[in-house]
Amino acid sequence: MQAPFTEEFVFRACMLPILLACLGYNKAIFICPLFFGVAHVHHVIERLRLNHESVLQVWIQTLFQFCYTTVFGAYSAFLFLQTGHLISPVICHSFCNFMGFPEFGQIPSYGKPKAVIISICYVVGLIAFLYLLVPMTSSNLYSNDIYVNMTS
């Protein structure tokens, strides 16, 4: 819980408003997550010290982590700007850290009927997420009048 709060405080509550003032909404929502992604590249040092993986494998995993933390950072920035509250990205970040990245490669190991059901659930979940993203984060639901003019 400490890391999600600290990271969201630094990147969303502190950095994002400064970038908004300097760059505007569209640029800030894409640049701030890049800093968030770069902040996670330090894991490469830990992996290289362990010597359990090849250098290429470590860098491929790090690049993958950079990509998904950057995408998550954009989502987190969106949540913060839409709701106007830091608690939204903190809870989302905590949940994502607890759950981890989905192991899509494990799906076939469950056998045909379960693998199909799991795959359908992933697709339905993704569609529901995309469909409900804007309505469930409407600034009106959260009494957000701080960033509402910037997001319209």
CA-to-CA distance for 68 and 51, rounded, in angstroms? 24
Identify which has the larger pLDDT, 148 or 58.
58
Q: What is the mean pLDDT of residues 117-124?
A: 96
- For the chain, how many residues are written? 152
Tokens representing 31 are 């640049």
Catalytic residue among 8, 40, 46, 85: 40
Distances (CA, A) of 26 to 32, 37, 81, 125, 127: 10, 18, 12, 27, 24
Q: pLDDT digits over 5-39, tens only? A: 999 999 999 999 999 999 988 899 889 999 988 88
Tokens representing 56 are 């290429």
- Closest by alpha carbon to 91, among 130, 142, 152? 142
The reported pLDDT for the residue numbered 139 is: 87
With beta carbons less than 8 A apart as the criterion, state whether 35 and 45 touch. Answer: no
7 labelled catalytic: yes
Q: pLDDT digits over 63-114, tens only? A: 998 999 999 999 999 999 999 999 999 999 999 999 988 899 999 999 999 9
With beta carbons less than 8 A apart as the criterion, state whether 63 and 1 touch. Answer: no
> Is the pLDDT confidence value at 151 over 60?
no
8 labelled catalytic: no
Q: Which residue's structure tokens are 């950095």? A: 15
With beta carbons less than 8 A apart as the criterion, state whether 13 and 89 touch. Answer: no
